[in-house]
Amino acid sequence: MHHKTLAELSQALKNKEYSSRELTQYFLDRIKQHDTQLNSFITVTEELALKQADLADQRLAKGDAEALTGIPLAQKDIFCTQGVKTSCGSKMLDNFIAPYDATLIRRCNEAGMVMLGKTNMDELAMGSSNETSFYGPVANPWDLERTPGGSSGGSAAAVAAYLTPAATGTDTGGSIRQPAALCGITGLKPTYGRISRYGMTAFASSLDQAGPMARSAEDVALLMNVFAGHDPLDSTSVQKEVPDYTADLKSPLKDLKIGLPKEYFGEGLNPAIAEALEKAKAVFAQQGVQFVDLSLPHTDLALSVYYILAPAECSSNLSRFDGVRYGYRCKDPKDLEDMYCRSRSEAFGEEVKRRILIGTYVLSQGFYDAYYLKAQQVRRLIRDDFTKAFQSVDLILAPTTPTTAFKLKEITDPVSMYLSDIYTLALNLAGLPGLSLPVGFSEGLPIGMQLIGNYFSEATLLKTAHQYQCASDWHLQFPKNF
Amino acid sequence: MEWETVIGLEVHVQLATQTKIFSGASTAYGAEPNTQACAVDLAFPGVLPVLNEKAVEYAVRFGLSIDAEITRRSVFARKNYFYPDLPKGYQISQHDLPTVGKGHMDVQLEDGSIKRIGITRAHLEEDAGKSLHGELSGFSGIDLNRASTPLLEIVSEPDMRSAKEAIAYLKNLHSLVRYLGISDGNMQEGSFRCDVNVSVRPKGQSEFGTRTETKNVNSFRFAERAILYEVDRQISVLEDGGHIRQETRTYDPDLDETRAMRSKENAHDYRYFPDPDLLPLVLSEEYIEAIRAQLPELPWQKCSRYMNDYKLSQYDASYLSSDWDIAQYFETALAHNTEVPPKLLANWIAGDLAATLNKENLNLTESPVSAEQLSQLVLRIHDQTISNNIAKKVFEAIWNKEGNADSIIEKQGLKQITDTGALEKLVDEIITNNPEQVAQYRSGKDKLFSFFVGQAMKATQGKANPQQLNDLIKMKLGA
């Protein structure tokens, strides 16, 4: 069953080639065998997984199985899972057993999927290398000395090493797409509001969006069919019909218009990546795709805007971690103030503290207009750039990252680290969907290509990625030793 | 120097929704601590607020009743500060764009004059929980049952010029929210509490003096005391050459004084920003008009209807309409017997009923004498079955659950004696038996008239029809 896609595994389960329990045990064994090298899981829920697998087998036997019933997956440790530790990669929540299931988890459970465990991540989803995790960094299966990216680094590494056939991620500024690119897998950040945020620990509420991470576009489409949908518990979730994301995968790309924003191909882009994208364009061109040069003139402002708005929201979202009701509380607090200060100082890591401070500063009286308000205005300009672009093209093609996976501990300066999300975070500001898929290698390390769509154009993104994957095999490459 | 007082009030009204403003937990009062706080109220990681539509409807209902602008697109913001009974570390509250904009209320003052008080705005927000100190040894307790209970904060213009005006406004507002059915107005349970902003200035000066804000006053009397104390304090500080610090104060009812809590310099920077978890609240014209169509009759509308339809005095009409329960009682009693004269009924409600309830420390809703029972009693006075004096006895019996008016009159034989023949015989006897008094009366001692009436009433145990009796005695003595 090694290296099978979700569609293949699903078929095999229905054909009774093996049971969900066997399949689940297979991945649990792989995690046991390989994860000491990767550190991609914070918690492995073996007992629960086997129980869920047995339930799935009963459904399969009764014939009331859905497409992904019995399929194992890994959940990013940012989603609340009832009765299971939900740490968010933070010392703050190291002792936190969630008392309820996130909507996404509930949907997976209802679909009969099997949770293998909770994956490692940058602390509270703040980071691009998985190095800010309280549980230590995750290694990239393609080179254990390198980062898998972040913040969904554990999920990306586990999928790349086939410790799980699929995983969830969350993406606030690139946290699904960047690690997907660095680990050579396919990851989708859907339109803001497409997947419920209820039960997903908030980093920056207006930017956060959950999404699937898997080997192929087809697998991602299958997962989207489970994840997407309106949730009355999330006021920002969108009441819009969910299509069958697999329905359109096989349609030809003829006459599809793809835009090439010049701002994404300038200085700072690794030449090997630029070259890989050229080759990918050639593959599309053969399928009748037309390319259009265009400009997204406010692109250079995205990073600054992002690092005002995301910290602003996070500074408020993280206030609930105060040591009062759950989570970490310092020893022997002298008084209330001491309890707040020490609990938070002792439990939050450097990057989280930096963002809380930036966020608190930009929202302060006297600075609000100059920072937060101005950033919201520029955010609108960035969104308008895309809206205008989508009047003339169906999709936009861009690199996912400026470089391939960098070495762990290589980047120590926070701003340099922020730059690794330079091509991804504008989409979050605009609320648009984006997909990263593997399009080659450079010195043994995967290269990701990003496809950006208009609002709710996930089906088009998936179709385009699938057609590319039908004509290429980058997504079928596996790291040695796994 | 002559000083002028300037008062503005911020009233927090707890809205009478079944569930909280951002979660599905119950808002019922008095439950065991933390039994009415769900994951959302406890601010677990990942939870999200969902706005309670009923709270919005109530806010709009209030806004329409005070002729306010209803904001078509209002925004919920986060007010950030740390406190153990504030689970999220921020309170969700409307900041720049509240649902209810500028409006006004006409308030009747003691002298009968009407004063228009401006209402700046009314915004929706969630309440915090409660900290419990001293109940657990070595710890403070937190009860989050109240967390996320819906509040409407109603902010007035600094339009009031005396404690009396402020209290008149407060009472009017209290009456209004109960009429609208948007709050139970229960002040003991904190459903209606106010922050009092007070400043003074030399009479004639146009700019305001520096104000203080006295927080969380939860009775009309305390509000009045707090204002009077603040006014005195501020005037004496100023007259001693000092100046008033802009600060937050608290009223201590035991010592009857206000005390400083924190000054402006130490005020929180709340770092307001729009809550990204909630979309802007957009209200359509149809939605607002549908609520307008369902507005109940408002206190001032009732008052003028009582004056027009029932020919009640302004005093009676405003008493009866001042409180939803009184108005309900009055209208129920009237509906029970259409012949009941409204004025007589009003006298009984404002008189004996109110006095007895007051003496027994009961609310009108707890009255042992129902509206229907009082209606029957008043009808029996009106149709001369009993006199007003006998009615007081009957009232007492009804109060003591001895039955209703008719059965008590019957059982105790209290029916008025209106038989002219019997009364005439009685008066003749009295005249015969009291020749001395008759002589004195006839020689001009008019005061003795009541002596004869008293004798007759004594003989009939008060059942003689007073009017008939008077006429008879006058006639016989005049002869």
Whole-number Cα distances in Å, B263 to B171, B213, B268, B327: 30, 10, 10, 44
Q: Give dist(CA A191, CA A205) in Å, integer.
A: 14
Position A358 confidence tier, pLDDT thresholds 50, 70, 90: very high
pLDDT higher than threshold 80 for residue B374: yes
Is A175 labeled as catalytic in the residue annotation? yes
Average pLDDT over every residue of A307-315: 98
Position A41 confidence tier, pLDDT thresholds 50, 70, 90: very high
Of A270, A222, A194, the C-alpha closest to A108 is A222
Q: Give dist(CA A427, CA A453) in Å, integer.
A: 9
Verify that B65 and B211 share a domain, yes or no: yes
The pLDDT score that the predictor gives to residue B478 is 77
Q: Give dist(CA B209, CA B211) in Å, integer.
A: 6
Give the tens place of pLDDT for each residue, B168-184.
999 999 999 999 999 99
8 Å CB contact of A198 and B48: yes
Rounded to 10°, the helix A103-110/A217-227 angle is: 100
Is A151 labeled as catalytic in the residue annotation? yes
Verify that B263 and B187 share a domain, yes or no: yes
Q: Is B50 on the interface with A (CB under 8 A)?
A: yes
User: End of a domain among B384, B411, B438?
Assistant: B411
Spell out which residues of chain B touch residue A100, defining contact as CB-CB under 8 Å.
39, 44
Q: Give dist(CA A218, CA B90) in Å, integer.
A: 42
Of B126, B128, B125, B132, the C-alpha closest to B32 is B132
Q: Are B14 and B183 in contact (CB under 8 A)?
A: yes
Verify that B238 and B321 share a domain, yes or no: no
Exactly one of A10, A20, A40, A76 is catalytic; name it.
A76
Verify that B203 and B255 share a domain, yes or no: yes
8 Å CB contact of B47 and A199: yes
Q: Which residue has the tokens 């004269």?
A: B341
Encoded tokens for B422: 């019997």
CATH assignment of the domain containing B431: 1.10.10.410
The total domain count for chain B is: 3
Q: Is B138 on the interface with A (CB under 8 A)?
A: no
Verify that B179 and B324 share a domain, yes or no: no
The pLDDT score that the predictor gives to residue B448 is 85
Helical ranges in B105-180 per DSSP H: 163-179
Instruction: Give residue B263's Cα distance to chain centre.
Output: 33
Verify that B358 and B448 share a domain, yes or no: no
The pLDDT score that the predictor gives to residue B93 is 98
The pLDDT score that the predictor gives to residue B132 is 87
Q: Give dist(CA A306, CA A295) in Å, integer.
A: 20
Give the tens place of pLDDT for each residue, A74-133.
999 999 999 999 999 999 999 999 999 999 999 999 999 999 999 999 999 999 999 999
Do the strands B90-94 and B76-80 form a parallel or antiparallel pair, or are they unpaired?
antiparallel
The pLDDT score that the predictor gives to residue B265 is 66
Please state, rounded to an integer, the average pLDDT across all residues of chain A.
Answer: 97
Verify that B227 and B201 share a domain, yes or no: yes
Range name among A169-178, A304-313, B254-263 with the lowest pLDDT average: B254-263
pLDDT higher than threshold 70 for residue A276: yes
Which domains are delineated in chain A? 6-256 (3.90.1300.10), 300-376 (no CATH)
Q: Which residue has the tokens 């008052």?
A: B303
Q: Is A363 on the interface with B (CB under 8 A)?
A: yes
Q: Are B474 and B442 in contact (CB under 8 A)?
A: no
Give the tens place of pLDDT for each residue, A176-201.
999 999 999 999 999 999 999 999 99
- pLDDT more than 70, % of chain B: 99
Verify that B247 and B205 share a domain, yes or no: yes
User: End of a domain among B392, B411, B430?
Assistant: B411
The pLDDT score that the predictor gives to residue B479 is 58
The pLDDT score that the predictor gives to residue A432 is 98
User: End of a domain among B387, B411, B435?
Assistant: B411
Higher pLDDT, B417 or A115: A115
Verify that B208 and B338 share a domain, yes or no: no
Q: Are A212 and A73 in contact (CB under 8 A)?
A: no
Q: Which of B45, B50, B269 sits opposite A80 (nearest CB)?
A: B45
Q: Are B218 and B251 in contact (CB under 8 A)?
A: no
Would you tell me which residues 266-295 of chain B have a C-beta closer than 8 angstroms to some C-beta of chain A?
269, 271-273, 276-279
The pLDDT score that the predictor gives to residue B99 is 98
Q: Which of B51, B272, B276 sits opposite A206 (nearest CB)?
A: B276
The pLDDT score that the predictor gives to residue A1 is 59
Nearest-by-CA chain B residue for A201: B46
Encoded tokens for B455: 């004798």
Of A67, A31, A149, A129, the C-alpha closest to A438 is A149
Is A442 labeled as catalytic in the residue annotation? no
Q: Give dist(CA B223, CA B163) in Å, integer.
A: 8
Q: Are A363 and A372 in contact (CB under 8 A)?
A: yes
Q: Residue B87 is part of which domain span?
A: 3-290
Verify that B301 and B277 share a domain, yes or no: no
Verify that B278 and B364 share a domain, yes or no: no
Verify that B67 and B135 share a domain, yes or no: yes
Exactly one of A40, A90, A151, A237 is catalytic; name it.
A151
Q: Report the first-to-last Cα separation within chain A, whole angstroms.
A: 14
Of A221, A285, A277, the C-alpha closest to A253 is A285
Q: Is B88 on the interface with A (CB under 8 A)?
A: yes
Q: Which residue has the tokens 């009314």?
A: B122
Do the strands B212-217 and B247-252 form a parallel or antiparallel pair, or are they unpaired?
parallel
Q: Which residue has the tokens 């008239």?
A: B449
Q: Give dist(CA A179, CA A185) in Å, integer.
A: 8
Q: Is A377 on the interface with B (CB under 8 A)?
A: no
User: Which parts of A312-433 are beta strand (E)?
Assistant: 395-399
Q: Are B251 and B258 in contact (CB under 8 A)?
A: yes
Nearest-by-CA chain B residue for A369: B273
What is the pTM assigned to this prediction? 0.91
